[in-house]
Amino acid sequence: MWDGIVIGGGLSGLIAGIRASEKGKRMLVISEGVGSLTYSSGVMDFGDVERLKEEKNHPYALMGETVVRAGMEYFQRLFPDYQGAWQNSQQVLTPLGSPREADLVPTGLNAGVLQKAKEIVLIAPEGMKDFFPEVIKAKLERVYSKAKIEIYPVAVEAFDIWRNSGKLITGMDYAKYWRSDQGAVNLKNILGKLTEEMACSSSGATSGEKQGEKSAIIFPGLAACFSNVLKGVLEEVPLPIVEMTAFPPSASGQFLYEALKQKFKALGGELLVGTGVKKVEFQGKRCHTVIVKSKGKDVTFSAQSFILATGGIFGGGIQVGPKDANESVMGLPLYVPAQWTNSEFLGEQPYAKMGVEVDPELRPLAAGNQEPLFDNVRIVGRLLAHWDPWLDHCGGGVSLASGWLAGEIL
C-alpha cells in the first residue's frame, strides 16, 4: 500500500510527488504520457496574482496568496538556477526575438542585459529547425534600435550528414550535442573565437566602457542551466550570453521535465510512465485502488491518498465530444461553460476554464454543492476549473502552487 499515488506526471503531478516524498511519504506517480511541460519553454508564468486572487473561483482565490508564494519559493528552492522574485517579472526572448515578461526564468534566458547592449551577435546554428535568424534579426533591430545586430552562422561538423541529406536538426539535437564531450569543446572554441573577434571590432570603445557592458551574444537552445558542463563553458566567456525560448518542443522544457523526474526518484519516489489509469475503485468517500493496463493485463495499486494531475483537454484529463465533456479517470463532475467558444479568435475562449471544481484543500466538489465528494482525492494543475492559462498567463503558477499544496497536505 502506497502513502500516495499521483495520477499524471506533468509539472503539477511531479511537484506534488516531490513535495510529498520530501515529507517522508512513499509515493508512486503513474503517467500515460510526458505532459505539456515538454512542449513549453520551461519558463514559469504566474500572471497578475493581485488581480487573479480576487477573481471568483480562480484557483489563486481558492488557495490564497500564501500558497501561491509558497509554490514559487518551493520551485526556486528545487531549482536555484531559476531567477525571479514575487511579482517582479523578468524579460525573455520569444522564439521570434520579441522580449516578453515571465516570472521564473532559467538564469541564461534573462534578456534584461540586452537593453544596454550596443552590439548584439545572434548565433545561428545551421540547419536548426524552427529557427529563423533573419526574422529574429529584424525584430531585434526594431526592439533594440540602438544596437548593431549581426548574425553569426555556426556549422557543426557532426551534423554535416544531416544537413547534406536535408534532414532538419531540432533544437533538442543541438542542445544534446553541446553538452557532449566533443560539443562542449567545440562550443568553447566557437565562443572563444567570437569573443576575440568582437573584442577587436570594439577596440574603439570609449574610455570606461568595458566590452562586457556593451556587447552581448544570443545563443538559441543551450538550456545551460541544466548542465554543469555548459555552465562551466559559459562562465569563461567574458560577455553575457542570452538564450532564447524556443517553439515546442523546447530544450529547456524537456530538461526541466527530466530534472523533475530525477528529483522525484532521488527522494525514493517510483515513476511509471507510458501507462494510464483506466479505472478507479472507491468505498464511501474514499478512493482506495487504481487499475492500469499493462501488457494486456489489469494491474492494481492501492494507496491512502490520491492526487489527480491528468491535465486538461490537452493532457488527456478531460475528454470532449461534440456536445459534452468528461473527466477521464474518476468521472468527476466538471464545470462546463454554457457556451464553449468565442468567434473572436484571440479573445477569451470559455472552454479553457473547463475543469474540476474544488474546495480550498483541492478536494473535488459535487456539482452545485460545496461538500467534497471524496476525502482522500486532490485535484491539481490544468485539471482545475475556472482559469485560462493563455489569457491569465499563469500556467506555471497554478501548477506549482496546487502541486505544492497537494504534496504538503497529502
Ligand X SMILES: Cc1cc2nc3c(=O)[nH]c(=O)nc-3n(C[C@H](O)[C@H](O)[C@H](O)COP(=O)(O)OP(=O)(O)OC[C@H]3O[C@@H](n4cnc5c(N)ncnc54)[C@H](O)[C@@H]3O)c2cc1C
For 49, which DSSP code? H
Contact with ligand X (CB under 6 A): which of 214, 261, 378, 382?
382
Q: What phi, psi does 305 have (nearest 5°)?
A: -140, 160
Candidate residues 21, 41, 83, 186; the one interacting with ligand X per rule CB under 6 A: 41
Residue in 306, 396, 401, 407 binding ligand X, rule: CB under 6 A: 396
117-125, 173-181, 258-266, 392-400 -> range binding ligand X (CB under 6 A): 392-400
108 binds ligand X (CB under 6 A): no
Q: Min. distance of Cβ 371 from ligand X in angstroms?
A: 24
The answer to the question of residue 36 lying near ligand X (CB under 6 A) is: yes
Which residues fall within 8 angstroms of residue 59, CB to CB, at 6 or more apart? 384, 386, 387, 398, 401, 402
Among 198, 217, 309, 334, binds ligand X (CB under 6 A): 309
Minimal distance in Å, beta carbon 190 to ligand X?
28
Q: Is position 407 an interface residue for ligand X (rule: CB under 6 A)? A: no
Query: Taking CB under 6 A as the rule, does residue 315 contact ligand X?
Result: yes
Tell me if 8 sits within 8 A of 35, measured CB to CB.
yes
Judged by CB under 6 A, the number of residues near ligand X is 39
Site for ligand X in 250-289 (CB under 6 A): 276-277
| CB of 353 vs ligand X, minimal distance in Å | 13
What value, to the nearest 5°, has the Cα angle with vertex 11 and ends 7 and 17?
55
* Distance in angstroms (rounded) separating the CA atoms of residues 155 and 180: 16
Please say which residue, 311 or 372, places its beta carbon nearer to ligand X.
311
What dihedral angle (degrees, nearest 10) is formed by the CA atoms of 323, 329, 332, 334?
A: -40
Nearest-CA neighbor of 65 among 51, 82, 85, 79? 51
Under the criterion CB under 6 A, does residue 25 sit at the interface with ligand X?
no
Which of these, 175, 76, 97, lies nearest to 142 by C-alpha position?
Answer: 97
Phi and psi angles of residue 295, each rounded to the nearest 5 degrees, phi first: 50, 45
Residue 44 binds ligand X, judged by CB under 6 A: yes
Instruction: Please tell me whether residue 399 binds ligand X under the rule CB under 6 A.
Output: yes
